[in-house]
Amino acid sequence: MTVAGIHHVSFTVADLERTVAFYQEIVGMRLVGRKHRSANDLGTALFGRPAGPEAGPPTHLDAGARTAPYPAEILIADMELGGLRVEFIQYVRPATAAYPGDPSVAGSAHLAILTLDIESEYRRMQAAGVHFHTPVRTVSDPDRPLWRWCYFRDPDGIVVELVESVPRSDAEPAEPAEPAGAIGAAGAERPEVSG
């Protein structure tokens, strides 16, 4: 196997300019490039078959199916944060469909942004108009750093997570475990510990 790592992650958006502004101004990403792609067989390369609601959702059974080449047109913004490249794509032809906003739908994803001070970033982003799902939460796993996190949405409804990893001091004992997903004192989540 010659797989070497992750090259980039990609999200589809409805308005590329709005997305670039949000991720530059609110999240702090750097725009590293823009591309416009259009070809008579680009739709075939991207979708494997005609796209759109009339085609139905693609499945693994479509992988070997041969279809006539069909066109597509996309706009791409490559952005970067901390060495990770994130590609945002706006489909022009076919037009981008709205994201349903439900992260429990298979294929959904979220972007986790590492911060060194989650409380200050939470306040800064709130002042800029970001609406968080909840206040900052804490996960405590035995023998692991504390993990502080909170979710918000970008302009397309894509879930974005702020994460801070807080090293646990050697003297600090692990908190007792509660049932998986239970909320303990001060809103701390504690996963179930087996063994």
Give me the architecture of the 1-98 domain, per CATH: Roll (3.10)
- Domains 1-98 and 101-195 agree in fold: no
The CA distance from 141 to 70, in Å, is 50
Q: Which residues touch 130 (CB under 8 Å, ≥6 apart)?
A: 26, 152
pLDDT at residue 182 in the model: 41
d(CA 150, CA 81): 19
Q: Around 52, how many Cα atoms within 13 Å sit in the side-chain half-sphere?
A: 10
Position 114 confidence tier, pLDDT thresholds 50, 70, 90: very high
pLDDT value of residue 195: 40
DSSP state for residue 25 in the 8-state scheme: I
Overall average pLDDT of the 133-145 stretch: 91
The pair phi, psi for residue 137, each rounded to 5°, is -115, 160
- Domain regions of the chain by residue span: 1-98, 101-195
Calculate mean pLDDT across residues 108-121.
96
For range 103-122, the mean pLDDT: 94
In the CATH hierarchy, which top-level class contains the domain 101-195? alpha beta
Mean of pLDDT over the chain? 83
Which pTM was predicted?
Answer: 0.78
Kindly report which listed range (65-79, 90-104, 125-139) carries the lowest average pLDDT score.
65-79
Are 58 and 27 in contact by the 8 Å Cβ rule? The answer is no
Residue tagged 């750097």 (tokens) = 30
**Maximum mean pLDDT: which of 53-67, 75-89, 130-144:** 75-89
Element (H, E) at 42: helix 42-47
Phi, psi at 19, each rounded to 5°:
-65, -45
Count other Cβ atoms within 10 Å, centred on residue 106.
5
Q: How confident is the model at residue 194 (pLDDT cuts 50, 70, 90)?
A: very low
pLDDT at 43: 85
Q: For residues 65 and 62, what is the distance between their CA atoms, to the nearest angstrom? A: 5
pLDDT given at position 62 = 54
Which pLDDT does position 179 carry in this prediction? Answer: 39
CA–CA separation, 137 and 57 (whole Å) = 36
Question: Which residue has 């600090």 as its token pair?
Answer: 172
